[in-house]
Amino acid sequence: KSPAKPVKHRTKKTVTTEQEVLPAYMDLDYWHGNLPNEDTANLVKEEGQYLLRKDLVVLTAPDSILLSVRTGHKVVNAIIKEVPTGFRICDREFHNVTALVDYYQIRKIPINISDDMEVTLGNPVRRKAWELRHKMITIQKELGSGSYGVVYLAQLTYPRQKPITVAAKMLTEIDNDASLALWKEARVMQEYDHPNITKFYGVCNDNMPYYLVMEFIKGGSVDSYLQANPGLIVYKRTKIASEAASGLEYLHSKGCIHRDIAARNLLIDKVAKVSDFGLTRKTRNYKIDPDKPMNLRWIAPDVFESSVVNKATDVYAFGITLFELFVVPYDIPYSHWTADEVNKNVVENGFRLAPPREMPKEIGGLMKECILEAHIRPNFKMINIFLNAQLKKMEREGMDTEGKKKFKLW
């Protein structure tokens, strides 16, 4: 006879694509995985609302679960302890987490948080569409390294749907700063939907490794694309600039500053898309420490005096990116200078890049305006209008297909 099948208890296990056995409570629709406090507060908004999670920062108690509940203006956490015979809270033990939560939620029995605080469970906060499960991701091959991990080609499969080819950024560092950086990027990206912004699918955060799942762009980064296509015509270079400006105009309209605009952070397929939101902040002004490492070749000199980045800082970086888009063969800005020399010449002595000779005169004028003093730089709405007008002019003059029309160059 074949071996008897194991009995399926209420504490059944779930298997991920990596065949790792996970606790059954991770299948609950109000389980939100390893979630930072800030994101918990954003989800649990109404009195009594609750969710289950692990504490992203305090991972010293792997056998504990947090039951996070909104009470007044704050979110409090009741600790559920996993024990050999089940789960314990407030000296009461249950066979599984579902029974535990139902006991307090259905009967409206208060949970003691501390000697002077009790909370009563209201409605659960269900998982959002962007909270993906690991079993939905199938890793295929490595694409490269990101700002805090490795990027993989992967397949994302929603229930009863065909797989979608995606890029999955895997968090390889497990320190608090790296984990919080991933969540900051996810927090920014989940709000945006624009043809020139990389599409965000979600985060896998039930267990390590965490994945940030994004649209896969076949053409790769624009800097690599320019290196591989030195003969790219002026029209197509201008089109990349226009599409990037459109994405950045949208980003700024949502009150966000990107903080890391460069050709390496633009991706290209049929259109160019702004990517890498690891440094992006939803704020009008953001205070930074100028002594910390920065992308010196793209950062506005005024940042070193004010210690503040804002929308005008993004415009300066876009001006430097315009240089990248038109210099032939492709090269980084100030390629003949070390970082110390860039600091001395640009930040201290006021040197500014000249438009490359391959750049049309009109676009060269735009580039120069973008790297002027902060208060007179154009905004991205103006930049987008200007670049669209340049594209239409090129199309009228026959630049759209052959690129043979002669332009007045620097």
Q: Which residues are catalytic?
A: 260
**How far is 218 from 220, CA to CA, in rounded Å?**
6
Structural contact between residues 326 and 361, judged by C-beta atoms closer than 8 angstroms: no
CB proximity list for 364: less than 8 A, separation 6 or greater:
355, 410
Based on the number of CB atoms within 10 Å of its own CB, is 147 exposed (0-12), middle (13-18) or buried (19 or more)? middle
- The answer to whether the beta carbons of residues 67 and 94 sit under 8 Å apart is no
Question: 306: which residues sit within 8 A by CB, 6+ positions away?
Answer: none
236 is in an annotated binding site: no
* Ramachandran region, residue 194 (left: φ > 0; alpha: ψ -120 to 50; beta: rest): beta
**Burial zone of 15 (CB within 10 Å; 0-12 exposed, 13-18 middle, 19+ buried):** exposed
Q: How far apart are CA 410 and CA 189, in angstroms?
A: 38
**Distance of alpha carbon 62 from alpha carbon 201, whole angstroms:** 27
Side-chain-side CA neighbours of 35 within 13 Å: the count stands at: 26
Q: Binding-site residues for ATP, please?
A: 169
Residues making up the binding site: 169
